[in-house]
Amino acid sequence: MPRGPCTLQSLQTKVYFACYGSIVVSVGKGMKIWMNGSLVDAEDAKVHVLTHALHYATGIFEGIRCYESGGGGNGSYIFRLHDHVKRFFSSAKIYMMDVQYGFDDIVDAIIDTVKANGMRNCYIRPIAYYSYGRMGVNPLPNKVDVAIAVWKWDEYLSAEQGIRCMVSSWRRIDARTMPVGAKATANYANSALARIEALKNGFDEAIMLNINGMVAEASAENVFMVRDGVLCTPPTTDGALAGITRDTVLQIAKHEGIMCEVRSISRDELYLADEAFLTGTAAGIKPIVMIDNRKVGDGGVGVITKRLKGIYEDVVRGRDERFVKWLTYVEMDSSTATKP
Ligand code: PMP
């Protein structure tokens, strides 16, 4: 797997790369992407340069993961598929998108795309966007197109020993300006600026405050802290996305008897946390060991963080009976299944 920034040379090969931090994602030759009802070769999954969403950020998307079953066999599990598809349609509703496919169509299309690519561990990216037709800010005259791609994305924010975060100078977008409950492409311009700033300053990730100075979320993850044994995360009304991993962690914590609070968190409270971590589909549970050059707790991965991370990794692979309701089993064709 190539690493480092995309080069023209890499783009000229028959493999197409997208860069996320230092991780290079490849959707290569022989892979399939679902576009408007059919599976097409990845090389042919193209959009017009005058696509509305490219100019005006009028797209919504999801990030879902599929994990190789921890119980052997030839299958994989898509984690909380129905919850992700529900959020996909909620985001589309906010942007008044007339998606031509129903809930079950998208669920089936996601399963078909995973199976067609035979990837037992993968990241799944469904996107709906106002397409090519009429330019101008109003998107409504344009058809809404839908695509689903999968790729291998092992380590988003790699740092097993914990990551170092900075509090960004960019404030998280505010609900009075943008609908923060929609997982919209437009929101990620704000995220990208924060992430660039963090990386350029030598940190792994940015934590953004809302316009009132309270913790909102990271560029693509929710934020948790542990103080005096209590697990805390900001409410969605402070600008946090209703993350599915966030909800998963809160539900696991309740089952485990860990006290949880969904409440506002100030910047200085983060500095005084005993433990802190980020949650997200791509990132999983990522311990934070430093914030703005201050050690979190003793600077190691916290006990509660470690415990929740361990349980989470079992849950997503079907090794925890209590949460199998969250898994959609996908049987892979043994002739095509790869073990990336
Ligand atoms: N906040 C933002 C801004 C995100 O992009 C994500 C990733 N979808 C999250 C939080 C975490 O959400 P989830 O756990 O559903 O992936």
Domain identity same for 294 and 200: yes
Domain identity same for 97 and 213: no
Q: Is the pLDDT of residue 335 over 80?
A: no
End-to-end CA distance of the chain: 11
Domain identity same for 208 and 266: yes
The predicted pLDDT at position 333 comes to 78
How much of the chain, in percent, has pLDDT values that exceed 90? 84
The predicted pLDDT at position 2 comes to 33
Last residue of a domain, one of 92, 127, 154: 154
Arithmetic mean of pLDDT, 150-166: 84
Spatial separation of the C-alpha atoms in residues 207 and 280, rounded to whole Å: 13
Q: Which residue among 183, 295, 309, 325 is the active-site one?
A: 183
Q: Which CATH number do you get for residue 121? A: 3.30.470.10
Q: Give the pLDDT confidence of 204-254 residue by residue, as tens digits.
A: 999 999 999 999 999 999 999 999 999 999 999 999 999 999 999 999 999
Q: Which CATH number do you get for residue 261? A: 3.20.10.10
Q: Which residue has the tokens 């934590």?
A: 207
Question: For residue 121, how many other CB atoms are within 10 A of its CB?
Answer: 16
The predicted pLDDT at position 6 comes to 32
Task: Give me the residues paired with residue 278 across strands.
Answer: 223, 286
The predicted pLDDT at position 337 comes to 58
Q: Is the pLDDT of residue 154 over 50?
A: yes
Task: Give the range among 134-148, 156-170, 253-267, 281-295 with minimum mean pLDDT.
Answer: 156-170
- Cβ-contact 292, 271 below 8 angstroms: yes
The predicted pLDDT at position 8 comes to 32
Domain identity same for 196 and 302: yes
68 lines ligand 1 (CB under 6 A): no
Arithmetic mean of pLDDT, 75-85: 97
Name the residue range of residue 44's domain.
31-154
The predicted pLDDT at position 135 comes to 96
d(CA 220, ligand 1 centre) in Å: 5
145 lines ligand 1 (CB under 6 A): no
Cα–Cα separations (whole angstroms), residue 142 to 38, 92, 95, 191, 287: 20, 14, 13, 26, 43
User: Which pLDDT band holds residue 189 (cuts at 50, 70, 90)?
Assistant: very high
Tokens of 192: 């990208």
Domain identity same for 186 and 125: no
d(CA 312, ligand 1 centre) in Å: 16
Q: Is the pLDDT of residue 17 over 50?
A: no
243 lines ligand 1 (CB under 6 A): yes
- Specify whether 93 is catalytic: no
Q: Give the pLDDT confidence of 110-119 residue by residue, as tens digits.
A: 999 999 999 9
